[in-house]
Amino acid sequence: MSRRQFTLPERVATTPLDDTGCTVLHVDMDAFYASASLLAHPELVGTPVIIGGGNRGVVLSATYEARRFGVASAMPMSRARRLCPQATVLPPDHDLYATISAGVMETFRSITPVVEPLSLDEAFLDVSGAVRLLGGPAAIGQHLRDTVHDEQGISCSVGVGPSKFVAKLASALAKPDGMVVVPRDEVVPFVQQLPVAALWGVGERTEEALLRLGLRTVADIAHTPLTTLVRGLGEATGHHLHELAWGRDHRPVEREQREKSVGSDRTFDSDLDDAVLIRRHLLALSERTAARMRAAGTTGRTVTLKVRFSDFTTITRARTLREHTDSGRAIHEAACGLFDALGLQRARIRLVGVRMTGLLDVTRAPVQGVIGEPEHGWRDADRAVDRARARFGAEVVRPASLIEPRTSASVRRPGDLS
């Protein structure tokens, strides 16, 4: 979707909203990471801002003002700075993103239990069971937009349609901060006026194959014999695109599935060979991973350490704990043990990562207390820290070893590209 700018057919854009049978919503936060970061920097609203860090890192997100200069997610930071040198660069705040995402998902679940998250900032909702009490799907979509804005301070775009495919297309067209309803009777003209790149499953290679066949719009695909599509694209892809070209998508919205792992990585601005500094970074990553698990209501049992060297060689080591945990202290202890066991002597390291697997839903199986731990131990302290961060910001409480001197500016202003 990001490769092309699509427009609504005139009939869909001007017809009064008819949301009968359009019980699938796709809700997508607008420039989520950038919008969330700007909550602590209201003076930067309306200016180009890039969320990322380091010369060798990548762009996590950017405001729409920065996107106008060509800045895009996953772009190398060095290129982003060249495209938009006047942008302010803010470091990511993953704890804040997890907290806001948890609040947004809770809002979704207050409307319907059938929520299918795709990432921290977007989800499908099936609102067929909520229309009797809350009104039509369009009214529910507007209620969600208002609630997210009022409670979280960020905006979202909503697509309303009879299927997941159509709802997701609609939300992309609604951006930023809007809502598009595609009436059930308008699905075919809505879909068929789009370029082939709009279809789910059409990447660059498939798009090139379609263009070689002379197929540029979805309507072209729809009116091409199925046998021709199968011969040119393969059995599965040919059938898949033929169905989508006629607006047919029978997949249901599936209830939330817990993530299989939670973790964080850190790419250094320059290679490190100082074990003390690396352990400090492992502490920050362990605390971040633990906070994400607590926000998601999960605990983990297996700690995995990832180390990438200056030549891009990457190794992983794992350790399974005796008990499930969501404690940053326990994760850090295991990660450092794995790192020390590597026996690295002044090896130049480019990246380290910490990941937890073997996740357990604590709402179904609460965490057991650790033998010997005081009645009010680290677990209570972690949750107190979570509450303080949710109220006052992610930086209000940190381990003492992670506090940087005030002279180390974390916010880069326009023109500061060093």
- Per-residue pLDDT tens digits for 295-331: 888 899 999 999 999 888 888 999 988 889 999 999 9
For the ranges 1-10, 140-149, 297-306, 375-384, the lowest mean pLDDT is seen at 1-10
Report whether 146 belongs to an annotated binding site.
no
SS3 346: coil
Is the per-residue pLDDT at 26 higher than 70? yes
Both tokens of residue 121? 């900032």
pLDDT band at 67 (very low <50, low <70, confident <90, very high): very high
Residue 291 Cα to chain centre, angstroms: 16
CATH 3.40.1170.60 domain span(s) along the chain: 41-92
By the 10 Å C-beta count (0-12 exposed, 13-18 middle, 19+ buried), 63 is classed as buried
Comparison of pLDDT for 381 and 38, the residue scoring more = 38
Residue 91 Cα to chain centre, angstroms: 16
| Beta bridge partner(s), residue 123 | 27, 117
Q: What is the per-residue pLDDT across 352-398, written as a single tens digit (0 to 9) for each?
A: 999 999 888 875 544 444 444 544 455 666 666 655 555 555 554 55
CATH 3.30.70.270 domain span(s) along the chain: 10-32+95-189
For the ranges 135-139, 187-191, 412-416, the lowest mean pLDDT is seen at 412-416
By the 10 Å C-beta count (0-12 exposed, 13-18 middle, 19+ buried), 29 is classed as buried
Q: Give me the catalytic one of 65, 122, 207, 287.
A: 122
* Average pLDDT of the segment spanning 175-194: 93
* Average pLDDT of the segment spanning 117-133: 91
pLDDT for the residue numbered 302? 92
| Beta bridge partner(s), residue 116 | 124
pLDDT for the residue numbered 53? 78
pLDDT for the residue numbered 13? 43
pLDDT for the residue numbered 214? 93
Class of domain 41-92: alpha beta
Is the per-residue pLDDT at 1 higher than 80? no
Residue 366 Cα distances to 245, 279, 282, 287, 295, angstroms: 47, 30, 27, 20, 14
* Average pLDDT of the segment spanning 215-244: 93
Report whether 28 belongs to an annotated binding site.
yes
* Average pLDDT of the segment spanning 96-112: 88
**Which CATH superfamily is 261-394 part of?**
DNA polymerase, Y-family, little finger domain (3.30.1490.100)
pLDDT band at 4 (very low <50, low <70, confident <90, very high): very low
Asked whether the CA dihedral 251, 254, 259, 264 is positive or negative, the reply is: positive
pLDDT for the residue numbered 178? 94
Q: Extract the runs of DSSP E, i.e. beta strands, from 2-93.
A: 24-29, 49-51, 61-62, 88-90
pLDDT for the residue numbered 385? 60
pLDDT for the residue numbered 10? 44
CATH 3.30.1490.100 domain span(s) along the chain: 261-394
Both tokens of residue 400? 């003492």
CATH 1.10.150.20 domain span(s) along the chain: 194-245
Is the per-residue pLDDT at 399 higher than 80? no
Which ranges of 261-415 does DSSP label H, i.e. alpha helix? 275-296, 328-341, 378-392
Give the count of beta carbons closer than 10 Å to the beta carbon of residue 335: 27
pLDDT band at 260 (very low <50, low <70, confident <90, very high): confident
The Cα–Cα gap between 45 and 195 comes to 33
* Average pLDDT of the segment spanning 152-170: 95
Return the CATH number of the domain spanning residue range 10-32+95-189.
Answer: 3.30.70.270
In terms of average pLDDT, the best of 7-11, 35-39, 407-411 is 35-39
In DSSP notation, 198-267 reads GSTT--HHHHHHHHHTT--BHHHHHTS-HHHHHHHH-HHHHHHHHHHHTT---PPPPPP---SEEEEEEE
Both tokens of residue 333? 């202890």
The Cα–Cα gap between 124 and 255 comes to 9
State what percent of residues in the chain have pLDDT above 90.
Answer: 57
Is 122 noted as a catalytic residue in this protein? Answer: yes
Asked whether the CA dihedral 145, 148, 153, 154 is positive or negative, the reply is: negative
For the ranges 46-50, 322-326, 411-415, the lowest mean pLDDT is seen at 411-415
pLDDT band at 96 (very low <50, low <70, confident <90, very high): confident
* Average pLDDT of the segment spanning 165-186: 93
Residues in Cβ contact with 152 at an 8 Å cutoff, skipping those fewer than 6 apart: 100, 103, 104
pLDDT band at 414 (very low <50, low <70, confident <90, very high): very low
Question: Average model confidence (pLDDT) for the chain?
Answer: 84
Q: What is the per-residue pLDDT across 278-295, written as a single tens digit (0 to 9) for each?
A: 999 999 999 999 988 888
SS3 321: strand
Fold assignment, 194-245 = DNA polymerase; domain 1 (1.10.150)
Comparison of pLDDT for 63 and 417, the residue scoring more = 63
